[in-house]
Structure 1
Amino acid sequence: MLRDEVAKAFKIIQDGGIILYPTDTIWGIGCDATNTEAIKKIYKLKQRDEAKSMIILLDTENKLESYISDMNPLAYDLIEYAENPLTLVMPGAKNISPALISSDGSIGIRISKHPFCQQLIQRMKKPLVSTSANISGKPSPQYFSQIDDEIINGVDYVVDLDQHSMEIKNPSTIMKLAPNGSFEFLRR
């Protein structure tokens, strides 16, 4: 089942599509983080201002340096010891679509522990865009049944996993980390 869903989602993403999928936090809308056209589809679907950047997911922290030019070693400790899913916003984004990079050159990255996300990212050999499955300005859905029909009908594929789970999941903690080691919480 998991392998089949990864294969189906991978095909959609390879073809430039966008997917609705479960993560280790809340349900996400995603695509290939190097495909600007697919990223624009997500902005349009969410009715989101393109100046508001989205995050990317990786399957392992070993890949961080492929997407951040000035990697702060503290990031590895923060990821290792974080009790909850942690998104790190770091400057020096590289090797992803410019549509994802904030005006200050940063990108938010989370290492996903969800088996579907990990396997899909491994198949893609690229980061996966992740943004909450809601229209911009509306509450983030805590589980699948709360996702707006407009979102479900607007993606190219809905992953058939965890749809009946009623486990309450929260968005990740977001921390902005500077190359000099200073940091601030953007969302706890």
Structure 2
Amino acid sequence: MKRVAATDPVAPVMFWQTIRAGGLVAYPTDTLYGLGADAENHIAAEYLAEVKGREGPFSVMVGHLERLEEYGLVSTEIADKLAGMLPGPYTILLPPRCPEKLSSPIMGLKGKVGFRVPRHPFIQAAFRKARGLVITTSVNRAGQPPLQDPEAIQDQFKEQIDLLVDGGVLPPSRGSTVVDPTTIPWQVIRQGDGKL
């Protein structure tokens, strides 16, 4: 496992190099540490599911709202409301525009995908550096609490994770709030840090 500080200018480059090589990356977000892989690389996505210990569904991380609109089917009205929420601690459930491009661990049972646009300096810097879709989930084995300390992440996942972007110990978090904006009213699937 390689390790780099989230504030190191080379960190976004290392992030994309690892993702595009089919590797797994752990990184800080605005809620929990995330574990990610290339969402369009089926082998990498399946390996992430194996390391996590569950089949999914998992979310997809993008850098900003415009990219979410590019990959998810979203009305103008919904997009206008999301503009006041994103980036932020939300996972937005939407039908995908091109489901055939996404690996199987991403798709939910109702054919929707959870999209994340985290408000974290490292994530925003990484997505300014390059475009891409990253499958994302919290860093923990299924059934275990999420890890918020880089030392614990390294201890438990040193054989599986290729790159750890060290953002220090993150504060306690309930994770992102999962919202389905395609219903009236919007449905909160899981209450997390984000408030509606």
Measure, in 2, the Cα distance between the counterparts of 1:75 and 1:171. 22
Deviation of residue 167 (structure 1)? 2.7
What corresponds to 1:64 in structure 2? 68
**1:135-160 Cα shifts (integer Å, max 9, x gaps):** 0111122333443733243111111x
Q: How many residues align?
A: 183
> Aligned letter for 1:43?
A
Picking from 44, 59, 81, the partner of 1:38 is 44
Kindly tell me: are residues 62 and 171 of structure 1, through their superposed partners in 2, closer, same or farther at Cα, counting changes over 3 Å? same
Contact 2:86 2:118 (C-alpha < 8 Å) held by counterparts: no
TM-score by length of 1: 0.84
Contact 2:39 2:103 (C-alpha < 8 Å) held by counterparts: no
Measure, in 2, the Cα distance between the counterparts of 1:31 and 1:119. 17
Q: Does 1:104 align with 2:110?
A: yes
**1:30-69 Cα shifts (integer Å, max 9, x gaps):** 0121111111110010111x2x211111111011221113
Kindly tell me: are residues 83 and 12 of structure 1, through their superposed partners in 2, closer, same or farther at Cα, counting changes over 3 Å? closer
> Aligned letter for 1:184?
Q
Structure 1 spans left out of the alignment, 5+ residues: none
Kindly tell me: are residues 43 and 55 of structure 1, through their superposed partners in 2, closer, same or farther at Cα, counting changes over 3 Å? same
What corresponds to 1:175 in structure 2? 179
Measure, in 1, the Cα distance between the counterparts of 2:53 and 2:155. 14
TM-score by length of 2: 0.81
Kindly tell me: are residues 109 and 76 of structure 1, through their superposed partners in 2, closer, same or farther at Cα, counting changes over 3 Å? farther
Once the two structures are aligned, what percentage of the paired residues are identical? 25
Measure, in 1, the Cα distance between the counterparts of 2:36 and 2:52. 12
> Aligned letter for 2:92?
L
Measure, in 2, the Cα distance between the counterparts of 1:81 and 1:17. 30
Contact 2:60 2:116 (C-alpha < 8 Å) held by counterparts: yes
Picking from 89, 92, 96, the partner of 2:96 is 92
Tell me how large the CA RMSD over aligned residues is.
Answer: 2.4
Deviation of residue 118 (structure 1)? 1.9
Structure 2 spans left out of the alignment, 5+ residues: 1-6, 192-196
What corresponds to 2:8 in structure 1? 2
What corresponds to 1:187 in structure 2? 190
Specify the SS of the correspondent of 1:34: coil
Kindly tell me: are residues 31 and 17 of structure 1, through their superposed partners in 2, closer, same or farther at Cα, counting changes over 3 Å? same
Q: Does 1:139 align with 2:145?
A: yes
Kindly tell me: are residues 93 and 136 of structure 1, through their superposed partners in 2, closer, same or farther at Cα, counting changes over 3 Å? farther
Measure, in 1, the Cα distance between the counterparts of 2:181 and 2:68. 13
Measure, in 2, the Cα distance between the counterparts of 1:83 and 1:70. 16
